[in-house]
């Protein structure tokens, strides 16, 4: 089966699983192939912070053994990459920061544990914006990640390393995290599939916190089917995370082939205003037409408070991050300044040296909005607006099953373009942030190109509506082939 | 205190809750382990870890709320109190701020005139303790022991209803008794399981506005509370009378010098930036839950004291003493139920000889060398005239020293009371014969000498003659 061997890296997880089952190749061969690709190609991308070749090959060998014995879970022998925000026992876990450049986690995140139990082979840890704060992957201490579609451009962020690795066929899928769009925006910019499930669907235990009430783990893959496979493994209640929700995990794969005939699709009036690149808007409209051709009905819906989502987010997220990042004080782990004069000096210099500019900007913003005298005006007000935004969605979902629109206002932008202008950078998440504020599941899938750069179609569903998102995406991918497009240098 | 001034005091009591594991992690809470051996990744504030509430603390706080007639909140919220300190691993303490679990409680203490005085309890909230910084024995370095980090605390905040150090101590003792009755805290003050901060201010009598207060931190004995507050009252009055102003500040009590001193101001210039902890869900408590906790509440000190007076006919003060701890009250009741002796006699023995022996040996009632049933056995022998009260003390000491039950000691030492009239008469005759001079004086009218004769008889019988009978027989023989 040499033909299959040649194209191993181009296959989806489901296809790979079938190949492994058939014995076309082994997990060890597959793993070695991908490790070789990473060794050869990642210098162009900088998608990895750590490559875990040895443990990956050992896991692959175990998976092959299990498969031979008729055992093995849903991911048995299948390669994945973990965003470097997930704690991995015995492996450096940096969160993209100098602060944790020396941090070897003593434990596995629940997500890591569950995927390992299902037989996954972890190729490495992917690059990301520092502490997941960024939309371009340029805030990483380990340097920016480059977009496989145009190496001069950003892959988006913060899960840019995961997205670039999947787009470049270095891994069939990767984990990501999404606080304001950090899975969906890079997915859109790299032509991959990204899903952020309902808040509480996947345990946050072991995922280094940025903004606890918004953070949610998710997946970047090339097909909705692979996202469904992974979500089934990752989702579920975890007694170690009080905010995870005790609710049965549906059979996401099982429902994919149902028709979307009669699915009520909401198109947000406010999504197609002046802020959106017109060509991107056209791709999205074409995608909506495809959904209609598959039997979906479209309805126009209103999200009147949408314009408040970015400012609201930039109060809530920094507030939580200013507190969440207090533990990085140079005392127990992470970067510690040398020759500290006293305690204050130790704190100031350890944090001053360990954190980058964007992280510092957000810690300062967050500290400010929580301060005595400002709390009511900013934090409390933002929480109130958050309720309004959630109510908007609730009303919209009374009439529709899925809300669709663009994932990002434009295709991938050039590296360095927006680094000096945080506000424009923040506006990149305007379409995605609402789902985080309301805790809703949302997904981005590739829906075409503008000037050779991928465009993403964004979909949001009501709480625990992942099945609708996955089915709609899968049906769309059965009718289109945008998701099979591969950047020229990574074929 | 100087005339013309009055004092206003409020206490914040920190009571460690007696859970086996910590408030937000599964690590053990036992005291005295090697540093950092009882701290898991959650307690260490490692990246990615999350707190999970130990449900037991909700149960305990609910019990406390009911015991002080407070409102137990149907919904309370954990908040983060943000500040940097090396023994605070996360850079914030998880506490409750705007919505505490317990509010609007009260209890009664006796004031200086012995009248009942109501003390309001503003709130009680759940929080985690911090670790400990260790400076001793580490040259130029500080150590951190995080065993205590994450230990559950109930912080009980009083209204500023206390007017003297004595009242403050009386209030603190009441709370101490309540938490131990409920079994929600061991109340061990040496180990820091029960400690308080005192807010103290003074004002001229008649002035309505409160004076500027100072806060004395971390008082861990009733004696220190009293001394620190008294020192602080005097200091403030003296300062004000000299034309000075009281500065609102945090002070520490130095028990060696018996004085309070300001803490460094840097440590209190904090804006804690409280906000609801997004890692924890609000605590929701149903009316049914509260009712079920109420059903399981043990009898509380006030009710028990009243019952001891009503049912056992005890003096109110004795009932008060006996109900000061649940273990002591249980001991009394166990002893009283196992003997026909009068309950007041049982009370006298528990408060008197038994408590004396415990104090002498530094023992807790739970470790008493004489059990309740053994004490009851002794008191039964007083009741049935086998021994006198005086001999009983001798028997008790022998029992305390492990020489056996009352009956065994009486038997072994031959301490049984002589009630045989002919035997007593024989001794009386000997005494009369041996003291002709005194007999003559007595007969001449010196009645007081009867005591001398009784003493002689008792001496001759080694105290075992029944005193009533001795008196009677002597009077009969001397009078004839």
pLDDT digits (tens, 9 = 90+) for A343-390: 999 999 999 999 999 999 999 999 999 999 899 999 999 999 999 999
Q: Is A162 an annotated catalytic residue?
A: no
Residue of chain B whose Cα is closest to the Cα of A330: B86
**What DSSP string describes A147-197?**
BTTBTTB---SSSHHHHHHHHTTS-SEEEEEESSSTTHHHHHHHT-EEEE-
pLDDT given at position A458 = 98
Report how far residue A125's alpha carbon sits from residue A108's, in angstroms, rounded to the nearest whole number. 13
- Residue contact B91–A329, C-beta within 8 A: yes
Residue of B nearest to A333 (CA): B46
Average pLDDT over chain A, rounded to whole? 96
Mean predicted confidence (pLDDT) in A313-340 = 96
Report whether pLDDT(A417) > 90: no
Which residue in chain A has the smallest CA separation from B25?
A: A240
Q: How far apart are CA A118 and CA A114, in angstroms?
A: 6
For chain A, list residues whose CB is within 8 angstroms of any CB belonging to chain B. Answer: 86-87, 93, 95, 100, 103, 105-107, 109, 204-209, 211-213, 239-243, 319-320, 322-323, 325-329, 331-334, 343, 347, 367, 370-372, 375, 379
CA distance B218 to chain A (A): 23
Report the C-alpha dihedral over residues A295, A297, A303, A309, rounded to 10 degrees.
0
Q: With bands split at pLDDT 50, 70 and 90, how would you rate the model's confidence at A76?
A: very high
User: Which residue from B minimizes the CA distance to A93?
Assistant: B47
Which is nearest to A335 in space by CA: A124, A98, A109? A98
Radius of gyration, CA atoms only, chain B: 30
Identify the residue among B35, B47, B140, B276 best suited for mutation to test binding to A, counting A beta carbons within 10 A and taking the highest.
B47
Say what the pLDDT of residue A252 is.
Answer: 98
Q: Are the beta carbons of A329 and B50 separated by less than 8 Å?
A: no
Assign A5 a pLDDT band (cuts: 50, 70, 90): very low
Mean pLDDT by 10 residues, chain B (480 residues): 90 97 94 90 97 98 98 98 94 97 95 90 97 83 91 98 96 95 94 95 94 94 96 95 92 92 68 96 97 95 93 92 92 95 94 94 93 95 87 93 92 82 87 89 87 89 84 82
What is the least distance, in Å, from the CA of B83 to any CA of chain A? 8
Residue A455 clears pLDDT 90, i.e. is over it: yes
| Contact: B46, A333; criterion CB under 8 Å | yes
Q: Which of B50, B89, B274 sits opposite A327 (nearest CB)?
A: B89
Closest CA to B69 of B170, B174, B163, B195: B174
The structure's pTM equals 0.90
Specify the residue for token string 């898991």.
Answer: B40
The answer to whether the CB of B294 falls within 8 A of the CB of B66 is yes
Q: Is A327 left (phi over 0), alpha (psi -120 to 50) or beta?
A: alpha
Which residues lie across from B10 on neighbouring strands? Answer: B199
Beta strand residue intervals within B259-328, DSSP E: 259-262, 275-276, 283-284
Measure the CA–CA gap between A430 and A41, rounded to whole angstroms. 33
Please tell me which residue of chain B has the smallest CA distance to A88: B48
Q: Residue A138 half-sphere exposure, CB side, CA atoms within 13 Å?
A: 20
Contact between B86 and A375 using a beta-carbon 8 Å cutoff: no
Question: Maximum CA pair distance of chain B?
Answer: 100
Domains of chain B, each with CATH number or no CATH: 5-289 (no CATH), 299-413 (no CATH), 421-479 (1.10.10.410)
Contact: A242, B280; criterion CB under 8 Å:
yes
Instruction: Check CB contact under 8 Å for B279 and A242.
Output: yes
Do the Cβ atoms of B47 and A347 come within 8 Å? Answer: no
Q: What is the mean pLDDT of residues A88-92?
A: 97
**B200 phi and psi angles, rounded to 5 deg:** -125, 135
Count of residues in chain A: 491
Enumerate the residues of chain A whose CB falls inside 8 A of the CB of residue B49: 205-206
Identify the H or E element spanning B107: strand B102-110
- Please answer yes or no on whether B275 and A326 come within 8 Å at the CB atom: no
Neighbours of A112 (CB within 10 A): 26
- Quote the Cα angle for A107-B86-B136, to 5°: 115
Angle, in degrees to the nearest 10, between helices B372-383 and B389-400: 160
Among candidates A239, A241, A332 on the partner chain, residue whose Cβ is nearest the Cβ of B44: A332
Single out the catalytic residue among A83, A114, A125, A418: A83
Alpha-carbon gap, residue A211 to A132, rounded angstroms: 10
The tens digit of pLDDT for each residue in B305-348 reads 999 999 999 998 899 899 988 999 999 999 999 999 999 999 99
Q: Two tokens at A54?
A: 């040895």
User: Is residue A349 within 8 Å of A328, Cβ to Cβ?
Assistant: no
**Residue B200 Cα, gap to closest chain A Cα (Å):** 25
Q: For A310-349, give the DSSP string.
A: HHHHHHHHHHHHHHHGGG-SSSSSS---SS-SSHHHHHHH
Residues of B with Cβ-Cβ distance to A329 under 8 angstroms: 84, 86, 91
State pLDDT tens for residues B260-316: 999 865 555 679 999 999 999 999 999 999 999 999 999 999 999 999 999 999 998
- ipTM, interface predicted TM-score of the complex: 0.95
Whether residue A1 is predicted with pLDDT greater than 60 in this model: the reply is: no
Complete edge-to-edge strand list for the sheet that includes strand B275-276: B92-96, B78-82, B275-276
Quick check: B281 contacting A, CB < 8 Å?
A: yes
Name the pLDDT band for A19 (thresholds 50, 70, 90): very high
Distance, in Å, from the CA atom of B248 to the CA atom of A479, rounded to the nearest integer, reads 73
Q: Measured between alpha carbons, how far is A251 from A15 in angstroms, rounded to an integer?
A: 19
**DSSP β-bridge partners for residue A456:** A446
Residues of B with CB below 8 A from A326's CB?
82, 84, 90-92
Closest-CA residue of chain B to A371: B273
Amino acid B211: pLDDT: 94
Query: In order of start, what are the domains of chain A with their CATH numbers?
Result: 2-266+403-490 (3.90.1300.10)
Q: Is A169 buried (19+), middle (13-18) or exposed (0-12) by CB count in 10 A? A: buried
Active-site residue, A83 included: yes
Residue A4 has pLDDT above 50, yes or no: no
Residue with tokens 């309004």: A388
For residues A12-27, average pLDDT: 96
Marked catalytic residue, from A105, A126, A140, A158: A158
Q: If you ran DSSP here, which 8-state letter would residue A402 be given?
A: E
Phi and psi torsions of A424, nearest 5°: -60, -40
| Helix or strand (DSSP H, E) at B436 | helix B436-443
Question: B351 — contact with chain A (CB < 8 Å)?
Answer: no
Q: What is the pLDDT of residue A271?
A: 87
Q: Hunting for tokens 């810690």 — which residue is that?
A: A363
Contacts of B86 in chain A (CB under 8 A): 329, 331, 343
State how far the Cα of A432 lies from the Cα of A446, in Å rounded to an integer: 15
Check residue B269 and give its pLDDT: 61
Q: What is the per-residue pLDDT for A158?
A: 97
pLDDT for res B387: 86
Coil, strand or helix: which one is A37? helix
Query: Do the beta carbons of residue A253 and residue A75 sit within 8 Å?
Result: no
Contact list, B281 vs chain A (CB under 8 Å): 242-243
Contact A155, A190 (CB under 8 A): yes
CA distance linking residue B155 with residue B128, whole number of Å: 10
The partner residue sitting opposite B82, judged by closest CB among A208, A326, A343, is A326
Pick the closest to residue B240 from B196, B198, B268, B200 (CA basis): B200
Partner-chain contact A332 B89, CB within 8 Å? yes
In DSSP terms, A80 is beta-bridged to A122
Instruction: Measure the CA–CA gap between B322 and B329, rounded to whole angstroms.
Output: 5
Q: How many CB atoms lie under 10 A from the CB of residue B426?
A: 11
**Can you say whether the dihedral through the CA atoms of B18, B22, B27, B32 is positive or negative?**
negative
Taking each helix axis from N to C end, the angle separating B301-312 and B165-182, rounded to the nearest 10 degrees, works out to: 80
| d(CA B396, nearest CA chain A) in Å | 56
Q: Which of B41, B50, B80 sits opposite A107 (nearest CB)?
A: B41
Helix A278-293 vs helix A466-479: angle between axes, to the nearest 10 degrees? Answer: 90
- In terms of phi and psi (left: phi > 0; alpha: psi -120 to 50; beta: otherwise), the region of A132 is left
Give the C-alpha separation, A181 to A310, whole Å: 11
Quick one: pLDDT at residue B50?
A: 98
- Catalytic residue (one of A182, A203, A444, A473): A182
């Amino acid at each position: 089966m040499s033909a299959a061997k040649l194209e191993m890296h181009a296959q989806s997880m489901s296809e790979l699983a079938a190949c492994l089952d058939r014995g076309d190749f082994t997990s060890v061969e597959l793993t070695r192939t991908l490790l070789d690709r990473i060794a050869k190609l990642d210098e162009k991308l900088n998608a990895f912070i750590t490559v875990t070749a040895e443990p990956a090959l050992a896991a692959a060998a175990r998976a092959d053994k299990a498969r031979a014995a008729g055992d093995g879970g849903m991911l048995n022998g299948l390669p994945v990459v973990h965003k470097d925000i997930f704690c991995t026992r015995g492996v450096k876990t940096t969160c993209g920061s100098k602060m944790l450049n020396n941090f070897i986690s003593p434990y596995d995140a629940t997500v890591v544990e569950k995927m390992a139990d299902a037989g996954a082979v972890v190729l490495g840890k992917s690059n990301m914006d520092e502490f997941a704060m960024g939309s371009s992957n340029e805030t990483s201490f380990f340097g920016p990640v480059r977009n496989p579609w145009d190496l001069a451009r950003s892959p988006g962020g913060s899960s840019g390393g995961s997205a670039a690795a999947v787009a470049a066929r270095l891994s069939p899928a990767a984990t990501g995290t999404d606080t304001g769009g950090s899975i969906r925006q890079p997915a859109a910019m790299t032509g991959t599939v990204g899903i952020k499930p309902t808040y509480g669907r996947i345990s946050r235990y072991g995922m280094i916190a940025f903004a606890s009430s918004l953070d949610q783990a998710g997946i970047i893959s090339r097909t909705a089917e692979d996202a469904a496979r992974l979500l089934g493994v990752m989702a579920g209640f975890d007694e170690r995370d009080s905010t995870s929700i005790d609710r049965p995990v549906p059979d996401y794969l099982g429902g994919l082939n149902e028709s979307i005939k009669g699915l009520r699709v909401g198109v947000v009036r406010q999504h197609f205003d002046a802020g959106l690149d017109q060509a991107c808007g056209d791709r999205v409209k074409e995608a909506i037409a495809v959904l209609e051709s598959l039997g979906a009905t479209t309805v126009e819906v209103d999200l009147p408070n949408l314009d408040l989502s970015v400012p609201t987010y930039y109060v809530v997220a920094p507030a939580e991050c200013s507190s969440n990042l207090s533990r990085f004080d140079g005392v127990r782990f992470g970067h510690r300044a040398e020759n500290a004069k006293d305690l204050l000096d130790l704190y100031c210099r350890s944090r001053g040296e360990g954190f980058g500019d964007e992280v510092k900007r957000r810690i300062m913003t967050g500290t400010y909005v929580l301060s005595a005298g400002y709390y009511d005006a900013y934090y409390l007000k933002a929480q109130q607006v958050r309720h309004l935004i959630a109510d908007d969605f609730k009303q919209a979902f009374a009439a529709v099953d899925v809300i669709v629109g663009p994932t990002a206002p434009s295709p991938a932008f050039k590296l360095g373009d927006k680094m000096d202008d945080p506000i424009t950078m923040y506006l990149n998440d305007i379409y995605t942030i609402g789902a985080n504020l309301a805790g809703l599941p949302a997904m981005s899938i590739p829906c075409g190109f503008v000037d050779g750069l991928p465009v993403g179609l964004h979909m949001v569903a009501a709480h625990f509506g992942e099945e609708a998102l996955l089915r709609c995406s899968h049906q769309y991918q059965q009718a289109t082939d945008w998701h099979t497009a591969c950047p020229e240098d990574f074929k | 205190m100087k005339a013309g001034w009055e004092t206003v005091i409020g206490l914040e009591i920190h009571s460690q809750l007696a859970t086996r594991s910590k408030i937000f992690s599964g690590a053990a809470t036992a005291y005295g382990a090697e540093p950092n051996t009882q701290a898991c990744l959650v307690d260490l504030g490692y990246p990615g870890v999350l707190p999970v509430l130990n449900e037991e603390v909700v149960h305990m706080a609910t019990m406390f709320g009911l015991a002080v007639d407070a409102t137990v909140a149907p919904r309370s919220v954990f908040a983060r109190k943000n500040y940097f300190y090396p023994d605070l691993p996360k850079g914030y303490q998880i506490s409750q701020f705007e919505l505490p679990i317990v509010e609007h409680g009260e209890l009664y203490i006796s004031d200086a005139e012995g009248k009942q005085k109501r003390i309001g309890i503003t709130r009680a909230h759940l929080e985690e303790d911090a670790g400990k910084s260790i400076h001793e024995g580490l040259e130029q370095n500080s150590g951190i022991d995080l065993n205590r980090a994450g230990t559950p605390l109930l912080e009980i905040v009083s209204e500023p209803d206390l007017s003297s150090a004595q009242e403050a101590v009386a209030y603190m003792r009441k709370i101490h008794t309540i938490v131990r009755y409920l079994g929600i805290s061991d109340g061990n003050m040496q180990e820091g399981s029960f400690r308080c901060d005192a807010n103290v201010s003074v004002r001229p009598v008649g002035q309505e506005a409160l004076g500027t207060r100072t806060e004395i931190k971390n008082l861990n004995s009733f004696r220190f509370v009293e001394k620190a507050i008294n020192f602080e009252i005097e200091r403030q009055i003296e300062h004000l009378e000299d034309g000075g102003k009281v500065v609102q500040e945090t002070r520490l009590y130095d028990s060696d010098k018996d004085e309070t001193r300001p803490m460094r101001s840097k440590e209190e210039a904090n804006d804690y930036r409280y906000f609801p902890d997004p890692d924890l869900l609000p605590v929701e408590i149903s009316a049914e839950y509260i009712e079920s906790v109420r059903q399981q509440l043990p009898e509380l000190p006030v009710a028990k004291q009243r019952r001891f007076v009503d049912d056992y006919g005890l003096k109110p003060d004795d009932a008060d003493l006996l109900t000061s701890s649940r273990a002591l009250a249980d001991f009394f009741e166990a002893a009283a139920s196992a003997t026909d002796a009068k309950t007041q006699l049982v009370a006298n023995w528990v408060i008197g000889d038994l408590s004396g022996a415990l104090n002498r040996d530094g023992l807790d009632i739970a470790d008493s060398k004489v059990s309740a049933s053994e004490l009851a056995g002794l008191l039964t022998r007083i009741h049935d005239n086998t021994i006198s009260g005086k001999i009983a003390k001798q028997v008790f000491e022998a029992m305390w020293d492990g020489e056996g039950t009352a009956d065994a000691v009486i038997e072994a030492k031959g301490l049984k009371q002589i009630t045989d009239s002919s035997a007593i008469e024989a001794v009386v005759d000997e005494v009369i014969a041996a003291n002709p001079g005194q007999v003559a004086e007595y007969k001449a009218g010196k009645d007081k000498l009867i005591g001398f004769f009784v003493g002689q008889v008792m001496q001759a019988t080694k105290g075992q003659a029944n005193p009533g009978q001795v008196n009677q027989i002597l009077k009969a023989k001397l009078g004839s």
